[in-house]
Amino acid sequence: MKRISILGSTGSIGQNALDLVRQAPGQYRVVALTGGDNIYRLASDAREFGAEIAVTAHENRLAELRDALEGSGIAAAAGRNALNEAAARPTDWVLSAIVGAAGLEPGLAALRDGVTLALANKESLVSAGPLLMSAAARSGARILPVDSEHSAIFQALSGENTAAVERVIITASGGAFRDWPLQGLAEATVAEASRHPNWTMGQRITIDSASMFNKALEVIEAREYFGFHPDQIEVLVHPQSLVHALVGFRDGGLMAHVGPHDMRHAIGYALNWPDRLVLPVDRLDLAAAGSLEFFNPDNARYPALGLARQVMEVRGLSGAVFNAAKERALDHFIAGNLRFTDMHGVVAGTLDHLSSEPGLIDAEITLDSVHRLDHLGRIAVDDLVGRKPG
């Protein structure tokens, strides 16, 4: 039986993963589940799946988690170290589905010989791609992408010579405001930005889809994971979200990955890799889908994509700054301190500010330097906004 742990099990990706486990009785043994605020969900899932340990990120919620697990024999723990320890427990497979830069350390802790780290947490690749990839290479662990576009690219590359790849095309739905008049965007509310046209996901990635900060992260993620040159990575708006990505080869062939909007495909693919097992996802009826449309993204509507190009050019620790600034700008938007359209300027300003300080962004990439730049990025955003998000 495959032994698995899920970091961020109470979230959208985590719940989809547990659904796959639920629907394949006897196939997987759940070792550790981790979450944040949602103690009820964490404890009830730990009981349902007979986990060995449940961990909340919040130390002040430990007593509540212990109470909720009383009599079950399941260990309870809390805090950052406990999360890292849970990630490092012996298993065959770990899903990194924590949202944000908080996923980096547990992801690194999970890497050891023979383990597969299924990576939904794109923020860790954007912030510290070289750190994660070299730790995997050193430890003998394997990282598999779970982001739907990157899973699509991975699948299209299967059996291919990567030297023959000319370009990859990542698709984007266009998010909540794809068809809004540009002048209306400044007044967009958090509730409006939280409605994705196609996918049901956590709130933060949904808002990032409306601004295309999510696609900006994904372009960098493709660069860090697959090692493509930035010029090889293209983005197309595809309102139907059925083609997740395409890989173009030097003979002109273009391999597209097509499927319904259901993250259980990408999660299940990583869960069972290198096998393909039956998955409970809808089979696509292309005739019912009718037409597939593709457009070039409009830079005025989605300026975040330009920032991804800038980050890929500079590299070093600019990914850590970009991700932290994006996370903090989003905190401010959610808190009502920043307009939707002002997130871009604040992130760009933070990148410019920290790039101009000698020795910061070009310092060696270590966990400490990533944490430092992440911290400085958040402070710079607060300074530009003139307050803290809380």
Give me the residues that bind ligand NAD (CB under 6 A), please. 8-14, 35-36, 38, 57, 83, 97-99, 102, 120-123, 147, 199, 201-202, 204-205, 263
Least distance to ligand NAD from the beta carbon of 206, Å? 8
- Rounded Cα distance between 250 and 254, Å, is 9
Q: Which of 8, 248 has the CB closer to ligand NAD?
A: 8
Give one DSSP letter per residue of 292-315, joined into a string: ---BPPPTTT-THHHHHHHHHHH-
Least spacing, CB of residue 362 vs ligand NAD, in Å? 26
Give the separation between CA 144 and CA 141, rounded to whole angstroms. Answer: 10
Q: How far is the CB of 80 from ligand NAD (least distance, A)?
A: 8
Three-state SS at 385: helix
Nearest CB to ligand NAD, comparing residues 202 and 230: 202
End-to-end CA distance of the chain: 45
Query: Which of 52, 105, 123, 147: binder of Mg ion (CB under 5 A)?
Result: 147
Q: C-beta of 27: minimal distance to Mg ion in Å?
A: 26
Assess contact for 319 and 127: CB atoms under 8 A.
yes
Q: Minimum CB separation from Mg ion for residue 42, in Å?
A: 25
- Residue 139: phi and psi, rounded to 5, are -85, -15
Could you tell me if 98 and 108 are in contact, meaning their C-beta atoms sit under 8 angstroms apart?
no
- What's the min distance (Å) between Cβ of 184 and ligand NAD? 26
Partner whose footprint covers residue 323, from ligand NAD, Mg ion, none (CB < 5 to 8 Å by kind): none
Does the footprint of Mg ion cover residue 208 (CB under 5 A)?
no
Q: Give yes or no for a contact between 7 and 97, defined as CB atoms under 8 angstroms apart.
A: yes
Comparing CB distances to ligand NAD, the nearer of 321 and 360 is: 321
Beta-carbon contacts of 59 under 8 Å, excluding residues fewer than 6 positions away, are 78, 79
Q: What is the DSSP letter of 77?
A: E
Complex with ligand NAD: residue 265 or 332, whichever CB lies closer: 265
Counts of helices then strands in the chain (DSSP H, E): 16, 11
From the list Mg ion, ligand NAD, none, partner contacted by residue 98 (C-beta under 5 to 8 A by kind): ligand NAD
Which of ligand NAD, Mg ion, none interacts with 199 (beta carbon under 5 to 8 A by kind)?
A: ligand NAD
Q: State the minimum distance, in angstroms, from the CB of residue 96 to ligand NAD.
A: 8
327 binds Mg ion (CB under 5 A): no
Residue 243 CB, nearest approach to Mg ion (Å): 13
Nearer to ligand NAD, 122 or 353 (CB): 122
The smaller minimum CB distance to ligand NAD, of residues 205 and 247, is found at 205
Q: Among residues 98 and 317, whose Cβ is nearest to ligand NAD?
A: 98
145 binds, among Mg ion, ligand NAD, none (CB under 5 to 8 A by kind): none
Stretch of 82-90, 140-148, 151-159, 166-174 lying at the interface with Mg ion (CB under 5 A): 140-148
Contacting positions for Mg ion (CB under 5 A)? 147-149
